[in-house]
Amino acid sequence: MTAAGKVDVKWASHFGSLHFPLLFLWHRLDAFRDLADGNPGLAFGVASFGVSQTHDPGTFLEIVDDLVRQRRRVIAVTLGFPADAVGILAKIHPAALTERRLALLRVGLSRPGIPDVLRHTRRIGASALEIVGNRRFADRVSTRFLAEVAETDLRVPRTAARLSDTLRVMEQFAPREIPEAFQTRASLAKYHWQFCRRVPADELRRTLGYRIPPCPIQIPPDAADVWEALDCAEKIVSEAFIQESCLADPGLCDEIVAGNVYFLRSTGRWTERVTFAITPDWGPSDRERIWILAHVEARRGRVPRPATVRAIKEFLRRVQDLAPSVAVSCYCPGTVGPY
């Protein structure tokens, strides 16, 4: 291969796909070469349009030749884009261009606000194309986030993949914790660490495989909106994510199944939002077992307020019909609990 041929192949390899049609057009049509030099995104769209129309090389060449001789605004409209999208197509990094992402951009430009953001960026990368064309993603990011992402991840959509993983886990385990819109890449990274990376995937799979027994104490109906038992693996994982604790450890699930500990949470309606563990103990008569408070933690392992601990003790006495003199706690603030 000649030196010029190697340069041409290297140019075509910079695009995300359609390498051979692009190289074919580059060698055969001077008008296409001029278009590709000035607007790679529009040139890629023309090649994609030609491939979708025919598989015959001669007909393909005629279709593209007729199209590239038009004004660029006319070409954009023929490809299904708004006439004023020519400048946006020119900013797309060649490595981000694939037929699928071009279709996503076509959908994204029909949504209000997105074209204005993309017009004010210097470059548009792979992550931006993946986000703007997916309504589930686009509705969860701010314009600031989109503008920041547009000029990063030019070749590989790492931020879009991180956003997809974070939303998938949060929608399953903590839908109420999903923010109205991720404001920056840094805020997304924080949520991604909390919900996707802090708990190893193998531990998560093992924990979700446990069958958690029913709660050993009966929560009365009038207290169901204040206290809730973590009576299934999904609730345990959700609590671990939201409270940022190590509750999703499979070793703790072994203790729950063995009857050595059980976990509940406060909903935060009348007390602060905490997770607490109860453990079996002998009652006043030494012939019956009662459940006493073993440990309480607020989010990120913080020590709860004394009023919260008192409320939990009163709750345990009430549901087990215990006298005020009966000790229902072995919890000591500041100590490390079973989780």
Is residue 307 over pLDDT 80? yes
| Spatial separation of the C-alpha atoms in residues 76 and 82, rounded to whole Å | 7
In tens, the pLDDT along 12-57 reads 777 777 788 888 888 888 888 888 888 889 999 999 998 888 888 8
Q: What is the pTM of this model?
A: 0.77
The boundaries of the domain holding residue 184 are 3-197
Of 139-148, 188-197, 246-255, the range with the lowest mean pLDDT is 246-255
Whether 170 and 286 share a structural domain: no
Residue 299's CATH number: 3.40.630
Judge whether 166 lies within some domain. yes
Give yes or no: residues 179 and 263 share one domain.
no
Q: Alpha-carbon distance 63 to 51, whole Å?
A: 10
Q: How far apart are CA 92 and CA 203, in angstroms?
A: 40
DSSP state of 281: E
Judge whether 335 lies within some domain. Answer: no
What are 275's strand-pairing partners?
A: 265, 297
**Residue 333 belongs to some domain of the structure:** no
267 plus 315 within the same structural domain:
yes
Q: What is the mean pLDDT of the chain?
A: 87
One domain for residues 192 and 109: yes
pLDDT mean over 287-299: 88
The rounded distance, in Å, linking the Cα atoms of 218 and 115 is 56
The answer on 126 and 266 residing in a single domain is no
Q: Which residues pair with 296 in a beta bridge?
A: 276
Strand order in the sheet with 289-297: 227-229, 262-266, 275-282, 289-297
In this model, does residue 9 exceed pLDDT 90? Answer: no
Kindly state the average pLDDT of the residues 98-117: 91
158 shares its domain with 227 = no
Identify the three-state secondary structure at position 284.
Answer: coil
CA 241 to CA 219: how far, in whole Å?
24
Same domain as 150, residue 65: yes
Confidence label for 10 from pLDDT (cuts 50, 70 and 90): low
The number of distinct structural domains making up the chain is: 2
Q: Given this model, what pLDDT does residue 335 score?
A: 61
Same domain, 306 and 272: yes
- Tracing tokens 């309606």 back to the chain, one arrives at 269
pLDDT of res. 7: 46
Give residue-wise pLDDT tens across range 182-224.
999 999 999 998 888 877 778 888 888 889 999 999 998 888 8
| pLDDT-above-90 percentage for the chain | 41
Domain boundary among 197, 224, 240: 197
As a whole number of angstroms, the distance between CA 104 and CA 324 comes to 65
> How would residue 1 be classed by pLDDT, with cut points 50, 70 and 90?
very low
Q: Which residue has the higher pLDDT, 333 or 191?
A: 191
| pLDDT exceeds 90 at position 265 | yes
What pLDDT is stored for residue 206 in this prediction? Answer: 86
Mean pLDDT on 62-77: 90
* Residues 143, 8 share a domain: yes
The answer on pLDDT for 6 being more than 60 is no
Q: Which SS3 state, helix, strand or coil, does residue 189 take?
A: helix
Tell me how far apart the alpha carbons of residues 130 and 155 are, in angstroms, rounded to a whole number: 12
Residue 133 lies in a domain: yes
Q: Domain for residue 325, yes or no? A: no
| In-domain check, residue 338 | no
pLDDT-based confidence at residue 8 (cuts at 50, 70, 90): low
CA within 13 Å, CB half, 26? 20
Neighbour-count burial for 260-275, b at 16+ CB within 10 Å, e otherwise: ebbbbbbeeeebeebb
Examine the domain organization and report whether 236 and 185 are in the same domain. no
Structure confidence at residue 322 (pLDDT): 86
Q: Given phi > 0 = left and psi -120 to 50 = alpha, else beta, which region is 31? A: alpha
Q: Indicate whether 151 and 59 sit together in one domain.
A: yes
Q: Is residue 337 in some structural domain? A: no
CA nearest to 322, candidates 281, 268, 273: 281
Taking the chain, what is the end-to-end CA distance rounded to the nearest angstrom? Answer: 65
Cα–Cα dist 143/236, whole Å: 35
Does residue 241 fall inside a structural domain?
A: yes
One domain, residues 174 and 65? yes
**Angle, helix 158-173 to helix 185-192, in steps of 10 degrees:** 50
Query: ∠99-104-109 over CA atoms, to 5°?
Result: 125
Counting residues of the chain whose pLDDT is more than 70, the rounded percentage is: 94
Residue 293's H or E segment, with its range, is strand 289-297
* Structure confidence at residue 4 as a pLDDT band (50, 70, 90): very low
In degrees, to the nearest 5, what angle opens at C-alpha 290 toward C-alphas 321 and 325?
55
